[in-house]
């Protein structure tokens, strides 16, 4: 049995829940299987289960064997303390959280064996792109049409978290977008929490040389034993913590899995503090042309690089922050002001930037699809993640045209 297969059938609800009981014999009802998590932490967030007429809302963890809980050291990780249901293929050991028996659902006798065999066969014969043999012969207009659609969807999705936060001024919104971008994919949510707790107005009340200790203090990662922080004023943090009644964030919220040391949250927080020191978050730069905006943004990072020895931004990091922070903000501002020209500028800036280089883009290159700038790479990432990888060919302009032939 493969754990990834358990994730698949759980997400697709391919189980006879009405026939199943927990290992203790209790009946249950699944109201929400949760949101699949591809990063570190529990497998499904925000699940909802009714057990013995009580509603439980929390995370759900899946394993091949129940003993894998201890094998993976989840008992030592606070991120797993709010798991409400343990879903396993085989039950070989009871699991407890803080002395409470963790409700466990066993799948072994309820799986569709034929479906599992088909799954194994399909993964062995898996093709990244169903249209791979046809793409090079198809008129490029269909792919370009699809790219135009998905790039808008991609940026719209990147601004969604702001719509949930009422009554913010432009500068604070801008600050939140940049914080989100510094968190990259893995730590975007902790960075958002940090920026909501330690607002831009709070920072601007203090001296710039103290921004760093404030940001690290609120993050919960400020550590006297960390050599990166040896020059910071810990006494100032203790004073300011009392002044604003700050409660430091939990350390376990910050993720390191899959990151290189240069991308660890401690390093990103130091870079973020340096950026906030050097940028005033004034939005007037958006009045310039697309090319002038890009030159201005790069100059901000180059100035920081010239002034700092240990916190230099790589070229790739600069472009990611512009792509995931500045461009979504300009798009959001265009939405807010009903200014179509601003939204056009955000797209134009992407077309002026270098293409990203990653495993997904390499897959496109191998089948002959051109990738000339960041507009192309962002669009191709969106198409792959939301259509190709999910085999949603009927919803894709390219797939539809090929299927119509």
Token look-up 């905006």 returns: 293
Which pLDDT value is given to residue 119? 61
| Sign of the dihedral defined by the CA atoms of residues 99, 105, 107, 108, in that order | positive
Two tokens, residue 58: 């929390």
Dihedral sign from CA coordinates of 91, 96, 97, 102: positive
pLDDT reported for residue 344: 96
How high is the pLDDT of residue 161? 85
Residues 65 and 168 in one domain: no
**293 lies in the same domain as 338:** yes
DSSP annotation of 355 reads P
Short-list 234, 172, 174, 235, CA closest to 199: 172
DSSP at 56: E
Q: Is residue 400 part of a domain?
A: no
Whole-angstrom distance, CA of residue 350 vs CA of residue 346: 7
Same-domain pairing of 37 and 116: yes
Q: Where do we find the tokens 């940001």?
A: 215
Of 91, 124, 157, which marks where a domain is finished? 124
CA distances from 125 to 98, 130, 358, 365 (A): 44, 12, 23, 21
Q: Is residue 379 part of a domain?
A: no
Q: How many domains does the chain have?
A: 2
Which of 317, 334, 352 terminates a domain? The answer is: 352
Closest CA to 36 of 2, 67, 12: 12
Contact 334, 361 (CB under 8 A): no
Query: What is the structure's pLDDT at 110?
Result: 85
Predicted local distance difference test score (pLDDT) of residue 150: 95
- 196 and 333 in a single domain? The answer is yes
**Rounded to two decimals, what is the model's pTM?**
0.69
| Same domain membership, residue 86 and residue 192 | no
Is 267 inside a domain boundary? yes
pLDDT of residue 134: 64
User: Using an 8 Å Cβ cutoff, are 363 and 371 in contact?
Assistant: no
pLDDT score of 327: 96
Asked if residue 41 is part of any domain, the answer here is: yes
Q: Domain check: are 214 and 249 in the same one? A: yes
**Same-domain status, 113 and 154:** no
- On whether residue 377 sits in a domain, the answer given is no
Instruction: Copy the structure tokens of residue 193.
Output: 């929490």
Mark whether 106 and 176 lie in a shared domain. no
Same domain (yes/no): 241, 348: yes
Whether 254 maps to a domain, the answer reads: yes
Q: List the domain range (segments joined by +) for residue 314.
A: 148-352
Residue 222: per-residue pLDDT: 84
Among 124, 157, 177, identify where a domain stops: 124
Specify if 383 maps to a domain.
Answer: no
| Closest C-alpha among 175, 349, 202 to residue 272 | 175
From first to last of its 405 residues, the chain has per-residue pLDDT tens of 878 888 878 887 888 888 888 988 888 889 988 888 877 788 898 889 998 888 899 899 999 999 999 999 999 888 898 899 999 999 999 999 988 899 999 998 888 777 777 666 644 445 667 677 666 566 688 889 999 999 999 999 999 888 666 667 889 999 999 999 999 988 999 999 999 999 999 999 989 988 988 999 999 888 777 766 767 777 888 888 888 888 889 988 999 887 888 889 999 999 999 999 999 898 899 999 999 999 999 999 999 988 776 788 999 999 999 999 999 999 999 999 999 999 999 999 999 999 988 888 998 888 888 889 999 999 999 999 988 887 777 678 887 777 655
pLDDT for res 129 = 73
Regarding whether 106 and 217 lie in a shared domain, the answer is: no
Count of C-beta atoms within a 10 Å radius of residue 123: 11
In a domain, 304, yes or no: yes
Question: Which stretches of 66-186 are assigned E, i.e. beta strand?
Answer: 83-90, 96-97, 100-101, 104-106
Six-digit token pair at 341? 């020209």
Judgement on whether residues 103 and 194 belong to the same structural domain of the protein: no
Q: Are residues 178 and 269 in the same domain?
A: yes
Residues 245, 243: Cα–Cα separation, whole Å = 6
């Amino acid at each position: 049995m493969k754990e990834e297969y358990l994730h698949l059938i759980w997400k697709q609800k391919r189980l006879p829940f009405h026939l199943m009981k927990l290992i203790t014999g209790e009946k249950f009802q699944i109201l929400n299987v949760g949101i699949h998590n591809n990063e570190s932490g529990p497998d499904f967030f925000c699940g909802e289960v009714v057990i013995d007429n009580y509603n439980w809302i929390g995370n759900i963890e899946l394993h091949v064997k129940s003993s894998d809980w201890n094998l993976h050291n989840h008992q030592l990780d606070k991120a797993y303390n709010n798991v409400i249901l343990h879903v396993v293929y085989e039950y070989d050991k009871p699991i407890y959280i803080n002395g409470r028996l963790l409700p466990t659902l066993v799948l072994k006798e309820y799986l569709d064996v034929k479906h599992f065999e088909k799954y194994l066969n399909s993964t062995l014969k898996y093709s990244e792109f169903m249209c791979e043999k046809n793409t090079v012969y198809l008129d490029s207009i269909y792919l370009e049409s699809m790219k135009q659609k998905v790039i808008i969807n991609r940026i719209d999705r990147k601004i969604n978290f702001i719509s949930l936060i009422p009554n913010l001024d432009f500068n604070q919104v801008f600050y939140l977008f940049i914080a989100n971008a510094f968190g990259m994919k893995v730590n975007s949510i902790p960075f958002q929490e940090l920026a909501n707790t330690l607002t831009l107005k709070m920072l601007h009340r203090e001296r710039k040389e103290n921004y760093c200790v404030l940001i690290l203090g609120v993050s919960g990662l400020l550590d006297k034993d960390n050599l990166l922080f040896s020059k910071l004023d810990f006494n100032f943090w203790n004073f300011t913590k009392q002044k604003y009644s700050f409660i430091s964030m939990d350390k376990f919220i910050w993720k390191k899995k899959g990151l290189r040391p240069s991308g660890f949250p401690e390093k990103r927080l130091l870079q973020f503090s340096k950026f906030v020191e050097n940028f005033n978050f004034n939005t007037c730069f958006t009045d310039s042309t697309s090319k002038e905006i890009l030159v201005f943004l790069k100059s901000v990072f180059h100035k920081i690089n010239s002034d700092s020895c240990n916190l230099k931004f790589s070229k790739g990091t600069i472009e990611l922050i512009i792509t995931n922070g500045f461009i979504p903000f300009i798009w959001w501002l265009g939405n807010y002001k009903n200014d179509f020209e601003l939204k056009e500028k955000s797209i134009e800036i992407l077309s002026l930037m270098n293409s990203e280089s990653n495993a997904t883009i390499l897959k496109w290159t191998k089948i002959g699809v051109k990738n000339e700038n960041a507009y192309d790479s962002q669009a191709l990432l969106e198409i792959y993640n939301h259509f190709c990888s999910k085999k949603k060919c009927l919803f894709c302009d390219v797939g539809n045209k090929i299927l119509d032939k």
